[in-house]
């Protein structure tokens, strides 16, 4: 319960155990719990108690800072009296105390000191207390009421006094600057109040003799005036200025942002027009030329030239030109801003998968959602997603030997999942010699647009490709 060293235990007439401790003062213990505590804060000369002795209702305490006597009855402590060098004690280091037949035997570090008990009895009435002076570094306010101080006058010096003809050195004072605060105990008859913030104060002072109760407090009222920069009108002015500055900065930033937005829109419009011009040029010029090459190659095939090498070269020209036309078509589609929507992208990819599987004679099972969110995506994302699906389909044609492809689209709150599954021969993902470059290429494309791709396969169990593309709803 108590971790400090207990120097002595004694029992009061009401069966309360009084414990003297080395650090916690006196502890009063009854019926299994602590019921009271007397420390330096409320009367002891020191919290280091070395002995305690009880004679009827009088308790004597020996400490390292003098001796203390008080009356204890039914857990009420009263008439606390401190005896030290000012009262003539031989030494304040009191080791033990004993009372008998009106004599107090005090064992100190410098010998035995015997005190006649009659010397302790003096007037129990509290002494009258008064203010001797109030002043600052610049001015004296003695005799004035309701004092007003400037904020920069410096610390307030308060002189106090109490009348005691028997033992003036035993007078103790308490003061506070507001009735709601705790009392501060001192033996000094001059108080320095520094760092008083602007506001109103009620300085109260009271005193007591050795063995008396505290006197009724006397009071002085003072006010500390705040500097002009802490006044209400100044604060309001600063708030108005700051608000004006904030609004000015805000509207300036809004204006700058609006100008930037207009420039960005103008630049975006210019880029869109340029994309459309390039698209038209590719379609009108290069597309027409390549179409002419295809037509000429087909015409040459109809010739009756039976040389195998001639026919092979003609077929190669036709195939290359046709693939080039298809690639140009894909580029034109990607550059067209009217196709910058998730709905158009999914429709284009679905059309490509269906048409390509039909050409190859492979069955395709589709699971396509009806409702697609209205989401705008960029050119790079649009093209990379299409090329990833295209590469996945081509890998199935080249390597899987599949007879069926399952193509599905799943739409979630912030991403879409495009899936390709086949019933082909499959492969071992741990052996990437044959398929490693294609998978790495797919992953690189997806990393560019913040998408996620996964490839799963096993020998003779087909393969699956899943692409997750995240978007802002």
Torsion, CA 223, CA 224, CA 230, CA 232, rounded to 10? 10
In this structure, what token pair is assigned to residue 156? 């307030």
What angle separates helix 308-335 from helix 232-281, to the nearest 10 degrees?
A: 160
The whole-number pLDDT of residue 225 equals 86
For residues 75-104, average pLDDT: 83
Residue 84: is its pLDDT beyond 80?
A: no
Q: Into how many domains does the chain fold?
A: 4
The whole-number pLDDT of residue 366 equals 95
Residue 240 lies in a domain: yes
- Positive or negative, the Cα torsion across 419, 422, 428, 434? negative
Which of 62-76, 259-273, 321-335, 395-409 bottoms out in mean pLDDT, i.e. has the lowest? 321-335
DSSP state of 52: E
Residue 1 lies in a domain: no
Q: What is the pLDDT of residues 302-340, one digit of tens each?
A: 665 556 666 676 677 767 666 676 777 666 676 666 778
- The pLDDT-based confidence of 184 (bands split at 50, 70, 90) is very high
For residues 245-258, average pLDDT: 89
Q: Which of 283, 305, 338 is the last residue of a domain?
A: 338
The whole-number pLDDT of residue 113 equals 79
What's phi and psi for 284, nearest 5 deg? -80, -40
* Residue-averaged pLDDT of the chain: 83
Q: How far is CA 409 from CA 38, 96, 379, 446, in A?
A: 82, 95, 20, 17
CATH number at residue 372: 3.30.565.10
Residues 133 and 208 in one domain: yes
The CA-to-CA distance between both ends of the chain, in Å, stands at 64
Q: For 83, what's the count of Cα atoms within 13 Å in the CB-facing half-sphere? A: 25
Residues 351 and 451 in one domain: yes
pTM: 0.40
Residues 355 and 459 in one domain: yes
Which of 273-282, 315-324, 343-352 bottoms out in mean pLDDT, i.e. has the lowest? 273-282
Residue 220 lies in a domain: yes
Total number of residues shown for the chain: 473
Query: What is the rounded distance in angstroms from the CA atom of residue 246 to the CA atom of residue 364?
Result: 63
Q: Which of 229, 250, 281 is the last residue of a domain?
A: 229
The whole-number pLDDT of residue 435 equals 47
Query: What is the rounded distance in angstroms from the CA atom of residue 385 to the CA atom of residue 370?
Result: 20
Residues 61 and 110 in one domain: yes
What's phi and psi for 421, nearest 5 deg? -130, 140
Query: What is the rounded distance in angstroms from the CA atom of residue 148 to the CA atom of residue 144?
Result: 10
The whole-number pLDDT of residue 165 equals 44
- The pLDDT-based confidence of 444 (bands split at 50, 70, 90) is confident
Residue 409: is its pLDDT beyond 90?
A: yes
Query: What is the rounded distance in angstroms from the CA atom of residue 53 to the CA atom of residue 421?
Result: 97
Residue 177: domain span: 129-229
How many Å is the maximal CA-CA distance in the chain? 152
The whole-number pLDDT of residue 434 equals 46
Residue 417: CB atoms within 10 A of its CB come to: 15
Query: What is the rounded distance in angstroms from the CA atom of residue 389 to the CA atom of residue 392?
Result: 5
For residues 267-276, average pLDDT: 64
Residues 291 and 358 in one domain: no
DSSP state of 430: T
The whole-number pLDDT of residue 420 equals 94
The whole-number pLDDT of residue 281 equals 52
Residues 316 and 416 in one domain: no
Nearest to residue 384, comparing CAs of 332, 441, 329?
Answer: 441
For residues 331-351, average pLDDT: 81
The whole-number pLDDT of residue 107 equals 93
Nearest to residue 381, comparing CAs of 409, 440, 340, 324?
Answer: 340
Residue 71 lies in a domain: yes
Nearest to residue 52, comparing CAs of 111, 11, 103?
Answer: 11
More confident residue, 290 or 191: 191
* Spatial contact of 118 and 175, defined as CB atoms under 8 Å apart: no
291's enclosing H/E stretch is helix 287-301
Query: What is the rounded distance in angstroms from the CA atom of residue 6 to the CA atom of residue 51?
Result: 9
Q: How far is CA 38 from the centre of its chain?
A: 43
Residue 65 lies in a domain: yes
* Spatial contact of 463 and 424, defined as CB atoms under 8 Å apart: yes
Residues 274 and 151 in one domain: no
The whole-number pLDDT of residue 195 equals 82
Q: Which of 177, 209, 229 is the last residue of a domain?
A: 229
Residue 468: is its pLDDT beyond 90?
A: yes
Residue 472: CB atoms within 10 A of its CB come to: 7
Instruction: Tell me the percentage of the chain whose pLDDT exceeds 70.
Output: 79
* Spatial contact of 426 and 462, defined as CB atoms under 8 Å apart: yes
Residue 227: is its pLDDT beyond 70?
A: yes
Residue 100: CB atoms within 10 A of its CB come to: 9
For residues 432-440, average pLDDT: 58
């Amino acid at each position: 319960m108590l971790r400090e060293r207990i120097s002595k235990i004694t029992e009061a007439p009401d069966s309360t155990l009084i414990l003297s401790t080395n650090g916690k003062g006196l502890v009063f213990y009854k019926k299994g719990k602590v019921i009271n505590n007397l420390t330096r804060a409320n009367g002891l000369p020191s919290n280091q108690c070395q002995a305690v002795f009880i004679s009827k209702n009088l308790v004597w305490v020996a400490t390292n800072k003098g001796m203390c006597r008080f009356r204890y009855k039914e857990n009420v402590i009263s008439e606390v009296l401190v005896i030290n060098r000012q009262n003539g004690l031989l030494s304040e280091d009191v080791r033990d105390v004993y009372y008998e037949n009106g004599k107090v035997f005090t064992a100190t570090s410098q010998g035995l000191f015997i005190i006649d008990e009659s010397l302790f009895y003096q007037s129990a009435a509290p002494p009258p207390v008064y203010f001797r002076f109030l002043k600052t570094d610049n001015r004296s306010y003695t005799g004035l009421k309701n004092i007003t101080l400037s904020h920069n006058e410096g610390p307030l010096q308060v002189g106090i006094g109490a009348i005691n003809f028997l033992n003036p050195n035993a007078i103790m004072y308490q003061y506070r600057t507001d009735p709601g605060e705790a009392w501060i105990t001192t033996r000094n008859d001059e108080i320095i109040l520094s760092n008083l913030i602007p506001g109103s104060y009620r300085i109260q002072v009271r005193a007591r003799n050795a063995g008396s109760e505290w006197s009724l407090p006397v009071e002085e009222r003072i006010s500390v005036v705040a500097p002009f920069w802490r006044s209400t009108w100044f604060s309001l002015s600063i708030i108005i200025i700051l608000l004006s500055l904030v609004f000015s900065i805000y509207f300036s930033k809004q204006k700058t942002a609006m100008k930037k937005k207009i420039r960005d829109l103008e630049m975006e419009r210019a880029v869109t027009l340029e994309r459309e011009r390039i698209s038209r040029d590719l379609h009108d010029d290069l597309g027409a030329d390549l179409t002419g090459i295809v037509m000429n190659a087909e015409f040459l095939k109809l010739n009756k030239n039976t040389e195998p090498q001639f026919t092979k070269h003609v077929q190669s020209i036709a195939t290359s030109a046709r693939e080039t036309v298809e690639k140009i078509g894909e580029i034109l589609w990607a550059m067209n801003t009217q196709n910058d929507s998730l709905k158009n992208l999914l429709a284009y990819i679905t059309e490509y998968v269906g048409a390509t599987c039909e050409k190859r004679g492979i069955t395709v099972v589709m699971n396509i959602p009806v409702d697609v969110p209205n989401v705008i995506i960029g050119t790079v994302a649009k093209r990379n997603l299409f090329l990833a699906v295209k590469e996945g389909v081509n890998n199935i044609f080249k390597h899987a030997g599949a007879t069926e492809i399952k193509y599905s689209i799943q739409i979630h709150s912030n991403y879409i999942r495009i899936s390709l599954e086949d019933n082909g021969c499959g492969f071992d993902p741990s052996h990437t010699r044959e398929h490693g470059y294609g998978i790495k290429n797919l992953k690189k494309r997806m990393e560019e647009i913040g998408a996620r791709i996964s490839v799963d396969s096993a020998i003779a169990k087909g393969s699956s490709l899943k692409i997750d593309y995240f978007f802002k709803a």
